[in-house]
Amino acid sequence: PYKRGTAMAINGHVNGDAATPKGPNYERVQIINDEKQFIPELTQQIERWDLHSAGFDYDIVAVFGSQSTGKSTLLNRLFGTNFDVMDETRRQQTTKGIWMCRAKGMNVMVMDVEGTDGRERGEDQDFERKSALFSLASSEVLIVNLWEHQVGLYQGANMGLLKTVFEVNLGIFGKKTADGRNQRTLLLFAIRDHIGTTPLANLQATLTADLQKIWETLSKPPELQDRQLSDYFDLSFVALPHKILAADKFESEVQELRKRFMDKGREDYVFKPAYHKRIPADGVAFYMEGIWEQVQTNKDLDLPTQQELLAQFRCDEISAAALTEFNEQAKPQRRPIESGKVIENLGGMMRAWRSGALERYDRDASRYHQGVYKRKRADLVSVLDSTLSPLFLGQLKNLHKASLVTFKKEMLEGMRGENYNFAEVVAAARERCEKRFLDGAQEALVEGTDWNYEEELELLRNEIRIVADQCRKDETKKMVNAIERNIKKQISDPVEIWLNKPQPDMWDEILKVFRELLEKAESMYLTKAKSFNCTDEENETSLAILRKRAWLALRAKVDEQTTDAAFLTKLRTHFEERFRYDEHGVPRVWKPSDDIDGAFKKARDQTLELIPLYSRINPIDGTLEYSLPSEESDPLSSTDEFDFPATLVIFSETKILDLMSRFRRDADAYYVEAKRSMVSSVAQ
């Protein structure tokens, strides 16, 4: 917002940065040029003067007075500066403007004002007023330089200047500062070419009275009517001998005066804390630029606003610098987090970066306007946290993933072998998994944020549950399969034996064996399932599956025994045993007297009776009747839908008729064969 001057004027003996040795240098810099422009090199210059990090531990002194009254000469002698002094041989005017220099051996910035004496020449009172405003707004001590012979000349040029100073002062400092105190400034009157006949005390009294008169004639704003000169100014006086006529004395008095600028222990030390304008050294340049801008545009110089603007500017700068360093620290961790890595000690690092950034900010910015400082601090905190938050969340996500992987691995390891307790394996793996997550998540927390890991923990717990459930289901399935295989093996022989021994209670015997096997299987399942923490419902499902599978195993074995071929063989055997053998098991040799027809019919009919017996699983003892609920499908093996009553039927009605007729044909063949055998034996 500030118009930058174009000319950079360093007329000093030191030139260029490259040659500048370490430590402070004492280059002179022009801050306002003869075009009344602010020259923005002051920031860097303050760094070169090594005052940049001085905080409040620095002072500013300015000078005020008529042209060619030896002001620059005095400053140079007092502070070891090198302001231009008018060349006596040529009586040449020095360049107009405001200059600044660092005092040798002190943390002091010295301002020298060069200007034409507007009042005498009737020109450019404007610059004089502006430079007075500018000096007052920034310096603690204003040296008012005047000849001894000007003292008491109430109408003289000096008094006019002082009136300007007072008016300006009321304009600037009439209002109290933000912290409620009056801004005070020391006016140090340097009475030059003091001859000595009039003692300093008299000169002092005259000047004080004159100042008082000026103060009273000042037109003050209504709200400041009753303000006294002493509300704003402390006055101090020093008399200096003629520099040329009493050179030695001049020099020793100046050296004496110098002590009042250096020795903090002295009672007459000039830089009292009350005079300090409370602008941190690193903000002085910006502050002055703002003041000059206001002065130039003839705006009312509102210092509280200036201080706030300064604070905003500087706090932003300081915050940005802290943020840059912080980002450099945080950036390298972003990629590994995004790629799924769990970063060791991430929380520790984040806390360090964050507090580091805030410490840096606090160190430099806390010197500025407190409201602004705090507001910008809150801004900084939220930027820091919004940078860290994705790292935190990423870390949580990665922790979650890594913990779950370990959980799965531990589950598999725990379930190796036969003798494990599933519930214990799950509990142990879950505990270690959650601990790993919680340890990592807690480490990653950063104080001062509202971060938490509850949500991620809940997600993790859910997934643990899902994985454990899946494991349990797999295990149950394996177990049910094993039990099923066992039943299959054990049911095989009894079924085969009983089905080859057709008798009315054949099914009763088979079902008795089946019941026993099933009961054993169910209790085996329940014993094992205890450690699985299965719910009653899950157990019910598993048992139902087990029952159905067992039944189907039985049914499969029955099918195998009742294929057409197998069954017809059984019938043939049964028939043969009755037709071709007598009741003693001796093969028959048919004789003509034998009732072949009767024997044939009897054996055939007895055999035909077997078909209905085999056609349906139908025990005589009703208590042995077995039943299962029919259902759509088996959730574990997803076989087709299951219709229990249908499984009781071995042969359908048509199948029965088919088997009967096929058997009859077989039997008929035996009959014909018996007849033939008899005919042939008779023929022999």
What residues line the site for ligand GDP (CB under 6 A)?
67-73, 85-86, 88, 192-193, 242-244
- Identity of the residue, 244 or 497, whose beta carbon is nearer to ligand GDP in the bound complex: 244
> Which CA distances in Å does 396 have to 340, 351, 401, 601?
10, 16, 9, 88
Output the smallest distance, CB 152 to Mg ion, in A.
25
| 308 phi and psi angles, rounded to 5 deg | -70, -40
Choose among ligand GDP, Mg ion, none what residue 88 binds, the Cβ cut-off being 5 to 8 Å by kind.
ligand GDP
Output the smallest distance, CB 71 to ligand GDP, in A.
3
CA distance 648 to 631: 15
Collapsing DSSP to helix, strand or coil, 244 comes out as coil
Rule CB under 5 A: say whether 138 interacts with Mg ion.
no
Q: Which stretch binds Mg ion (CB under 5 A): 29-37, 64-72, 178-186, 569-577?
A: 64-72
Output the smallest distance, CB 4 to Mg ion, in A.
25
- Identity of the residue, 68 or 618, whose beta carbon is nearer to ligand GDP in the bound complex: 68
Q: Taking a C-beta distance cutoff of 8 angstroms, is the pair 483, 546 a contact?
A: yes
Residues 6 or more apart in contact with residue 438 via CB below 8 angstroms: 453, 457
Choose among ligand GDP, Mg ion, none what residue 48 binds, the Cβ cut-off being 5 to 8 Å by kind.
none
Binding mask 327-356 for Mg ion (x = CB under 5 A): ------------------------------
Output the smallest distance, CB 67 to ligand GDP, in A.
5
Choose among ligand GDP, Mg ion, none what residue 193 binds, the Cβ cut-off being 5 to 8 Å by kind.
ligand GDP
**CA proximity to 574, closest of 620, 607, 535:** 607
Collapsing DSSP to helix, strand or coil, 361 comes out as helix
Rule CB under 5 A: say whether 67 interacts with Mg ion.
no
Rule CB under 5 A: say whether 387 interacts with Mg ion.
no
- Identity of the residue, 72 or 81, whose beta carbon is nearer to Mg ion in the bound complex: 72
Output the smallest distance, CB 229 to ligand GDP, in A.
25
Sheet holding 185-192, edge to edge: 28-32, 97-102, 108-114, 59-65, 141-147, 185-192, 233-239
Q: Which stretch binds Mg ion (CB under 5 A): 70-78, 229-237, 584-592, 608-616?
A: 70-78
Output the smallest distance, CB 70 to Mg ion, in A.
8
**CA proximity to 151, closest of 202, 203, 208, 187:** 203
CA distance 533 to 535: 6
DSSP labels, 67-131: TTSSHHHHHHHHH--------TTTTPPPPPEEEEEEPTTSSEEEEEEE---HHHHT--HHHHHHH
User: Which token pair is 443?
Assistant: 């480490």
Q: Taking a C-beta distance cutoff of 8 angstroms, is the pair 1, 289 a contact?
A: no
Output the smallest distance, CB 243 to ligand GDP, in A.
3
Q: Closest residue (Cβ) to ligand GDP?
A: 70
- Identity of the residue, 121 or 616, whose beta carbon is nearer to Mg ion in the bound complex: 121
Q: Of 72, 76, 158, 647, which lies in the binding site for Mg ion, with binding defined by CB under 5 A?
A: 72
CA distance 181 to 165: 20
Choose among Mg ion, ligand GDP, none what residue 243 binds, the Cβ cut-off being 5 to 8 Å by kind.
ligand GDP
Output the smallest distance, CB 256 to ligand GDP, in A.
15
Choose among ligand GDP, Mg ion, none what residue 153 binds, the Cβ cut-off being 5 to 8 Å by kind.
none
Choose among Mg ion, ligand GDP, none what residue 68 binds, the Cβ cut-off being 5 to 8 Å by kind.
ligand GDP
Q: Taking a C-beta distance cutoff of 8 angstroms, is the pair 33, 104 a contact?
A: no
- Identity of the residue, 72 or 395, whose beta carbon is nearer to Mg ion in the bound complex: 72
Output the smallest distance, CB 63 to ligand GDP, in A.
8
Choose among ligand GDP, Mg ion, none what residue 290 binds, the Cβ cut-off being 5 to 8 Å by kind.
none
CA distance 187 to 236: 6
Query: Burial letters for 172-191: b for 16+ Cβ neighbours within 10 Å, e otherwise?
Result: bbbeeeeeeeebbbbbbbbb
Collapsing DSSP to helix, strand or coil, 158 comes out as helix
DSSP label at residue 152: T
Collapsing DSSP to helix, strand or coil, 606 comes out as helix
- Identity of the residue, 72 or 204, whose beta carbon is nearer to ligand GDP in the bound complex: 72
- Identity of the residue, 88 or 248, whose beta carbon is nearer to ligand GDP in the bound complex: 88
- Identity of the residue, 85 or 479, whose beta carbon is nearer to ligand GDP in the bound complex: 85
Choose among Mg ion, ligand GDP, none what residue 242 binds, the Cβ cut-off being 5 to 8 Å by kind.
ligand GDP
Q: Which stretch binds Mg ion (CB under 5 A): 66-74, 125-133, 254-262, 566-574?
A: 66-74
Footprint of Mg ion (CB under 5 A) = 72
